Chains A and B, each alone.
Chain A
Amino acid sequence: GQQLNQSPQSMFIQEGEDVSMNCTSSSIFNTWLWYKQDPGEGPVLLIALYKAGELTSNGRLTAQFGITRKDSFLNISASIPSDVGIYFCAGQLDGGSQGNLIFGKGTKLSVKP
């Protein structure tokens, strides 16, 4: 099936550092989404991107929809301990069903106080 390649798989950083993670695919996407998942919970939407080239911020989070429509990145500035969790990118394929999202495998973020 279709795949999203998400990297890095894990990150261990110091509190206050900036974080960057990204997703790439060989396929074109109409929408890119970034989620955060805490243990025992469902994913929570952080940022949604709907247009190629779009750059969107949500507090300390910034994400961009790649101009080729095949990639996206998420940056977190000045990380804090509560940023710990697993971050997933997800997207809707060009021509795909609106309810069918493809998720990456996640980036596990650990923050050292």
Chain B
Amino acid sequence: GAGVSQTPSNKVTEKGKYVELRCDPISGHTALYWYRQSLGQGPEFLIYFQGTGAADDSGLPNDRFFAVRPEGSVSTLKIQRTERGDSAVYLCASSLTGSNYGYTFGSGTRLTVV
């Protein structure tokens, strides 16, 4: 597609539930990034994929968070046993390679845990 597509755009879930957030990068972009943005804050790095592998997952806050990119294109961010503190906008970005900063961000998924 023309841009980075994230679905759903909004997700409301109950505390303790499992959620999956999807990111469709720009076609041909080998690098994919997940960030989390809380209200009034800048984006916070979670994980970076180069192809199918996670090149840097140091930003994942704990083992409830996991992300995959099995075919080197679409990525899914998975959150288990959601907590109210997980509420934020989850942003995905992609770039042609991991060595340039021409990130294109998607519009994000707003996750609300009630």
Contacts of A31 in B (CB 8 A): 101
B40 at the interface (CB under 8 A from A): yes
Contact A48 to B101, CB < 8 A, known contacts A42-B4, A88-B42: yes
B51 at the interface (CB under 8 A from A): no
CB of A100 within 8 A of CB of B101, answer: no
Question: Number of contacting residues on B, CB 8 A?
Answer: 28
Cα A45 to Cα B91 with chains together (Å): 14
CB of A100 within 8 A of CB of B105, answer: no
B44 at the interface (CB under 8 A from A): yes
B103 to chain A, nearest CB (A): 6
Cα A101 to Cα B105 with chains together (Å): 13
A13 to chain B, nearest CB (A): 21
B50 at the interface (CB under 8 A from A): yes
Select which of B31, B43, B91, B107 is within 8 A of A99 by beta carbon: B31
Select which of A43, A100, A105 is within 8 A of B41 by beta carbon: A105
Select which of A6, A42, A100 is within 8 A of B48 by beta carbon: A100
